[in-house]
Structure 1
Amino acid sequence: MVRYTFKSRVAHLVLMIFCVLSFSASAEKRNNQNVMLIIDASGSMWGKINGEAKIDIARNAISKLVKTWNKQTKIGVMAYGHRRKGDCKDIQTIAPLGKINASQVISILGDLNPKGKTPLSASIKAAATMLKSSEEAATVILVSDGLETCGMDPCLVAKQLKKDNINFRAHVIGFDIKSISDTSKLKCIAENTGGKFITANNTTELNKALDEVKQVAVKKVVVKKVVKKVVVKPIPPKKAIVKTTKINRYAAYKLPSSCKKKRTMFLRTKTKMGGIEECMKIIVTKGGELTIDGIISHSIYIIESGGKVVTKGNQSSVNVFVKAGGELQNVSSWIGRVENDGGKVVNISGDIKRFRMKSGTTIVQEGDIDSAIIDGGYFTMYDGDLKILKVNSGVVKISTAVDVDNQEGAASVELIAPKAKK
């Protein structure tokens, strides 16, 4: 048996504390920052302070900044609004991120010619993208005399950039900002990223503000690394999975595969259609009445109870399904096939290529029928003048005399002579 003395227990406790502290420290790393300086060179920078253009004041102040910049801290310089009028994409990197070349930057600053818009948000996002390639802390210094003029919200952009990179921050210098409202719209960029906001209204204040943010930017900072905890969740007991399937009762009515663009219409009111249409599935429900006076091809009509369809014109390669309580009127029209499932079909001087009828179906017919399917049987009529045809348990009753031929598989056919005229 191993016995622990008081000293051994204390030593063990100290060792555990040291291990915990070591792990916590490994979650942080001290390092220099990478900095992007953004200069507002929009048209408003030609405004004057004490007789001197704001762009000239900014050039001189930034020239002093880059001359005294700590070479151990990488910096890049961007400008916007200096090349084109009205262009929200006028954002340019005039010095890439790296060791500063002061004389080169000062020379480029002298060529800036303010003339364009103020894409604040887009320039901050572009700077953050350049800084994101490094694991070091990312800092933006923005010098601007105005607000966003390109439709974005810099406050929301700043908040999202901070969310995406915990080590990102933006310091903002509001140069010659006139109103409290405008000040707050710039201040939120710094507040949402943990940076500084400083106002400057003249040459002295701008030099002081740049020096202040420089002191913050060049010092070493704590880079935070997020240590994710692994949480093991207990596996819950399996439950019976009940799957529910939504049945589409119209799915069985399929349009031809040759249709590239297929359309489905549900009609519950009176509607008229004309012209030339194709590849349509039209469902007419209770209260719906569709009148078609045109050329329709490769389509399907489904007539529900309480629905009515009146066809005129040429209905080429069209199938009609009439449900119980539905009605089809085929007026001087040609239809490919009609399946009557307890509904009513009135065919006035029209042609129907094929009928399929179930027991109890009623058809009023004044035209010709080439062929029909009745309870699985077939028959063909030529030169017929069919007025009323009723189907009842496979018995066909025709009220006027017709020639019947090729009764292949018909259940039974009963011909009734017409009544004598009085």
Structure 2
Amino acid sequence: MRGVALAFGALCLMGLADTPWAADDVRCLDDAMLVLDASGSMAGTDMNEMRPHIAKVQEALAAVVPQVAPRRHLGLMVYGPGGAPRCRNFELRLSPGPNSAETIMNEVNSVIPGGQTPLTDSVHRAAEALQFRDKPAVVVLLTDGEETCGRDPCLLARQLRAEAYALTIHVIAFKVVGSSTWLAPKLGSSCMAQETGGLSLTAADKDELIKALRETLTCPLFSKVIQ
């Protein structure tokens, strides 16, 4: 029996060695904060249907967040809606905690897009909520636009990297070709990923958005099981 157990353990290690997780280049269990764009552009639609972008984002998150929340502490920062002054319209909806899927999805499904895109300040606040100076942290920025409040996302990323214990910022650009708010992908906020060793991904529809969320929020080993 001992020989069987050793053989099984060796097979498991061989399997992990074939995954990116084995190289420890994906911090897939660190506390994470989702920074959600709910600015006015998320109310835009594409040329083929009248459903707003935010509806597709909500559906994509509903497919991924319940898979992530049981395995890692996950929180939510939202920018865009609300009665806050221009460029101060971002809010920590939930600090990272266990089994947060239901609370996060209730918040996500309640947002009504509006306002500016203070994504740089939102990422900064998300990092602070993660206590990024004291422990490993992951920020996943999901946006369909670029900074509109005069801040420099690249500069912030460099500053955060210099202060961080171990911070990774992933950027998912939801760029729906043919939409009323579509812009060709450009550097913009993607440099936040480049500065911190994160992923910079572009999604053109709900399915691609689900894939991008899984790449940035789940462990490679778990992703193979749940896809």
1:46 and 2:43 matched: yes
CA gap 1:144/1:172 in 2 versus in 1, 3 angstroms: same
Q: Give the aligned residue type for 2:137.
A: A
Q: For 2:201 and 2:118, how far apart are their aligned partners in 1?
A: 20
Quickly say closer, same or farther: Cα 1:34–1:47, change in 2 above 3 A.
same
**Residue matched to 1:195:** 198
Report the equivalent of 2:60. Answer: 61
Contact 2:68 2:218 in 1 (8 A): no
- 1:203 aligned partner, one-letter code: K
Tell me the amino acid that sits aligned with residue 142 of structure 2. V
Task: Tell me how far 1:211 sits from its aligned partner.
Answer: 1.1
User: 1:66 Cα shift?
Assistant: 1.5
Shift of the 37–80 alpha-carbon distance from structure 1 to 2, 3 Å rule, reads same
Q: Which runs of 5+ in 2 are unaligned?
A: 1-26, 177-181, 223-227
- Equivalenced residue count is 189
- Alignment-mate amino acid for residue 146 of structure 2: L
Q: How does 1:6-405 map to 2 (within 5 A)?
A: 32-49=29-46, 50-51=48-49, 52-84=51-83, 87-132=86-131, 135-176=134-175, 178-180=182-184, 182-216=185-219
Higher helix share: 2
Cα 1:214–1:201, aligned 2, differ >3 Å: closer, same or farther?
same
In structure 2, distance between residues paired with 1:81 and 1:212? 25
> 1:91 Cα shift?
1.0
Once the two structures are TM-superposed, the CA of residue 160 in structure 1 deviates from its matched residue by 0.8
Q: CA deviation at 1:136?
A: 3.0
Distance change (3 Å), C-alpha of 1:86 and 1:134: closer
Q: CA deviation at 1:134?
A: 7.1
Q: CA deviation at 1:54?
A: 0.4
Cα distance, 1:191 vs structure 2:
0.2
Q: Secondary structure at the match of 1:146?
A: coil
* Deviation sequence 1:340-387 (CA, Å, 0-9, x none): xxxxxxxxxxxxxxxxxxxxxxxxxxxxxxxxxxxxxxxxxxxxxxxx
The 3 A distance-change label for structure 1 pair 208 and 54 is: same
Aligned-residue offset at 1:86: 5.5
Cα distance, 1:86–1:117 mapped onto 2, change above 3 Å: farther
| Counterparts in 2 of 1:96 and 1:218: CA distance versus 1, 3 Å | farther
Q: Distance in 2 between matches of 1:218 and 1:112?
A: 32
Q: Which one-letter code corresponds to 1:118 in the other structure?
A: T
Q: 1:134 to 1:189 in 2, by over 3 A?
A: closer
Name the aligned partner's letter for residue 44 of structure 1: S
Question: Counterparts of 2:57 and 2:163 in 1: how far apart (Å)?
Answer: 31
**Letter of the 1:41 counterpart:** A
Q: What's the offset of the Cα at 1:71?
A: 2.1
Q: Considering only aligned residues, what root-mean-square deviation do their CA atoms show, in Å?
A: 2.3
1:158, distance to aligned residue in structure 2 (A): 0.8
Structure 1, gaps ≥5 residues long: 1-29, 220-422
SS in 1 for 2:33: strand
Structure number with greater CO (CA < 8 Å, separation at least 6) is: 2
Residue 45 of structure 1 aligns with an amino acid whose one-letter code is M
For normalisation by structure 2, the TM-score amounts to: 0.76
Deviation at 1:133, TM superposition (A): 6.0
What is the TM-score when the length of structure 1 is the normalising length? Answer: 0.42
What is the CA-CA distance between 1:95 and the residue it aligns to? Answer: 1.8
